[in-house]
Amino acid sequence: MKRLIDKGLMFGNLLYVGSPALVERYARALKHLTGHTTALDEFHIDISGYSPEIGDELEDHYYLNHGGVNRQFILLSTEQKFCPLLNAHFSTSHDILKRFMEANERQLFALMATDAVAGELENSVLGVDSPEQLFDIRRIVIEADTTTGTIKESARLETMIDRFMQEEDSWFDDELIEAMVTSAKRTGNITRNPLSLEHQAFEQKNFWTAHFGGLYLFQDADSSALIASREKPQGRFPVKRILSLGERKKIGEFLQENQLAEPIVKVRGADEAQILRQKMTFVLAETLVNKGMDVAGLSYADVRRLAARYTDDLPPEYEGLAAMVRWAETRGARPKIGLDDPSYFYLMRATHGPDRDLVNMLLAELSPLDMRQLYICHKNEFYRQYRDWPDAKKAYCVDFLAREYVDNKAGARAYLFGDEE
């Protein structure tokens, strides 16, 4: 994995924590949440405050996420909203944390001026022992406060102020006034700078989870489904379909019925045909790697030229992609590529909507030879597969992503998946 780390493709965009004040706040929050301490004087954290270096130190990379549910978090800076979420067990967790930080940016900025904010993404279950329990996770509530309880103290002060304003003779209640003064020393002027946090509850209906080998739950769909990356789970589930990734035709029907995916190239002459050409190159590179060739640093043209020697060895995904490109760039009838064609999911991308990222994540797993989409849309699966790749494929992939993606991530995503509406 060293190649990925060196090129910023793994543990990239993390927040550096090196000042004594921030390190001390983090250590205090870590003790507050987990009972653990750290002896490190510098490290990096993701959007949730998880640090790979502290994970190594504790020999526990799930120290903020035991059981894979109710993820805890430590916030030191509003800049964390730009960080990725590592070791994610739910596809929605990063978005929930980011939305929470954006909705409360001013309040969090004020709180984090002197302390860390620590909390938890709470749901209605404490653990996931069976797939049935995943259907109970429909609402995530964020509980957060500073390590010294500033928000709780602010709520207590607000209650005392209301009592002071409403009760007769409150001016003569020395005990109440003394309590208000003491509390205000900790919270500041809450009438001018309220310290409550908004938007603390989030609905979670359609999501991916790493539990049970990887499951996609589409509960909020006209035709609901549970799609398993490995074997289908056994049990009774409140969905119309229970599928595995091997049931490609049925998954295609599900995406069509719910209008969740569309062809990348819809009309002849479209610029999107270039996306399919790039996918063809990834397929060709896979063929060359399997022949023992070093393809790192080669251009699209170089890969196609070398692969011309092995046309009989090309995987079936290639012909469907090539046929669609020929139709888009030349004359002729549009090829009929069925749901069970190996190239079908390589030709699709998610439609605009709230489940766009989730569907692109599913499509990435259904088209694994497109290593770029797998990296962008499903990093957990990318890292899992990467460990078993031959060295030549690792080198090619890292070189390509470093050249074509890292410097313009937003532009690449817009180009591949369409602009956000």
pLDDT digits (tens, 9 = 90+) for 334-376: 899 999 999 999 999 999 999 999 999 999 999 999 999 999 9
CA 353 to chain CA centroid, Å, is 17
Q: What is the mean pLDDT of residues 195-204?
A: 76
Give percent of the chain with pLDDT exceeding 90: 59
Domain locations along the chain: 2-149+195-203, 206-257, 261-417
Type and span of the H or E element at 241:
strand 241-244
Structure tokens at 307: 């692969």
Q: Is the pLDDT of residue 174 over 90?
A: no
Residue 134 corresponds to which amino acid?
Answer: L
CB neighbours of 169 closer than 8 A, spacing ≥ 6? none
Indicate yes or no: pTM above 0.85. Answer: yes
* All residues at 6 or more sequence positions from 387 whose CB lies less than 8 Å from its CB, including other chains: 1
User: Cα(103)–Cα(97) distance, rounded to whole angstroms?
Assistant: 10
Looking at residue 314, its amino acid is: L
pLDDT score for 312: 86
pLDDT tops 80 at residue 246:
yes
What sign does the CA torsion over 295, 299, 310, 396 have?
A: positive
Task: Give the range among 108-112, 168-172, 243-247, 290-294 with minimum mean pLDDT.
Answer: 168-172
DSSP designation for 83: S
Highest mean pLDDT: which range of 185-199, 268-282, 359-373: 359-373
With a CB cutoff of 8 Å and minimum separation 6, the contacts of 93 are: 48, 71, 85, 121
pLDDT, one tens digit per residue, over 14-47 is: 999 999 999 999 999 999 999 999 999 999 999 9
Residue 206 has pLDDT above 90, yes or no: yes
57 in Cβ contact with 105 (< 8 Å): no
Sequence length of the chain is 421
Amino acid at 36: H
Class of residue 12 by CB neighbours under 10 A (exposed 0-12, middle 13-18, buried 19+): middle
Here the tokens at position 101 are 């930080």
Does position 194 have pLDDT exceeding 70, yes or no? no
Host H or E run for residue 243: strand 241-244
Would you say 63 and 52 are in contact if contact means Cβ atoms under 8 Å apart? no
Structure tokens at 323: 């046929």
Residue 179 Cα distances to 3, 145, 151, 218, angstroms: 58, 21, 16, 51
Helix (H, G, I), strand (E, B) or coil at 76: coil
Sign of CA dihedral 323, 324, 330, 334: positive
Q: What angle do CA 375, 303, 394 make, to 5 degrees?
A: 35
Instruction: Give the pair of three-digit tokens for residue 196.
Output: 């409550």
- What one-character DSSP code corresponds to residue 104? T
CA torsion 3→6→11→14, rounded to 10°? Answer: -170
**Amino acid at site 275:** I
